[in-house]
Structure 1
Amino acid sequence: MYTLLTLMLMTMTLSIIMMFTCSMISKTSKKDREKMSPFECGFDPKSSARLPFSIQFFLIAVLFLIFDIEIAIMLPIMLTMKWTMNSTWMMTVIMFIMTLILGLYHEWNNGVLEWAK
């Protein structure tokens, strides 16, 4: 018990010392407007450094993640079929799939899946 406590204390102390040392070493000189501005070969930039982000792409990516996680959840459901009652198992699977289908319908109904307008 004391060994574990000592090890944790040493780890925390070493981490704090390293963070303090890094913060002291990485101190930059004066932050003025010229040094903080974007730089293109010594000339002023011709366009903004920030590019517009497509919210449509973001929504499609989130939808992909939802259905990707669905597959990760569906695999253990198939394995538990052996150990549960068929009626309970079927009801759980049907409710899970219906929730996903309703979510997909909602996304489709709101026009998220239409890429070009």
Structure 2
Amino acid sequence: MVDLTEYLPILLFLGIAAALSTAFVLLPMGVSRLTGSHNPNAAKLSEYECGFPAFEDPRSQFDVRFYLIAILFIIFDLEAAFLFPWAVTLDLTGWAGWLTMVIFLGELAIGLAYAWKKGALEWE
């Protein structure tokens, strides 16, 4: 039989995390209801991001290029997140670390060239 007591700390951690996240969501809502600051009106429920009411269906489809730009942004943002620790530990990783990062940057350059060739960076 498998000893499941080793999983007890993980289950405790998940339980505490679930309880805290639930408390962080529900507690402010409850406090606002009790203190009276929850008072929705037309001004509070109006559009606040762009300043004017939506003029078309909010469920309209976006152009695929929008998603391509978003994915490219995430990829190159992660590249920057990988470059800093690599540069800091380059003396420890040596030539193997250098070659691995060159391959990684080469793959990203090929992906960027492909996206550029396909016109994903063109915006109308």
Report the TM-score, using the length of structure 2 for normalisation.
0.51
Higher CA-based Rg:
1
Aligned position for 1:98: 106
Distance 1:47 1:62, change over 3 A: closer
User: Mapping of 1:1-117 within 5 angstroms?
Assistant: 4=8, 48=57, 50-85=59-94, 87-116=95-124
Please report the RMSD computed on the Cα atoms of aligned residues, expressed in angstroms.
3.1
Provide, for residues 63-109 of structure 1, a one-character-per-residue CA deviation record: whole Å limited to 9, x for no partner: 00000000111111112212122x32331221111111001001111
Taking a change above 3 Å as real, the CA distance of residues 67 and 48 of structure 1, as seen in their structure-2 partners, is closer
| Aligned mates of 2:98, 2:58 — CA distance in 1 | 53
Q: Distance in 2 between matches of 1:95 and 1:73?
A: 13
- Give the number of aligned pairs: 79
Q: How far does the alpha carbon of each residue in 1:28-67 deviate from its partner, in whole angstroms, 9 at most, with x for none?
A: xxxxxxxxxxxxxxxxxx9645223222111101100000
Whole-angstrom CA distance in 1 between matches of 2:69 and 2:59? 22
2:98 partner letter: M
Question: Segments of 4+ in structure 1 off by > 6 A?
Answer: none
| Gapped regions of structure 2 (runs ≥ 5) | 20-54
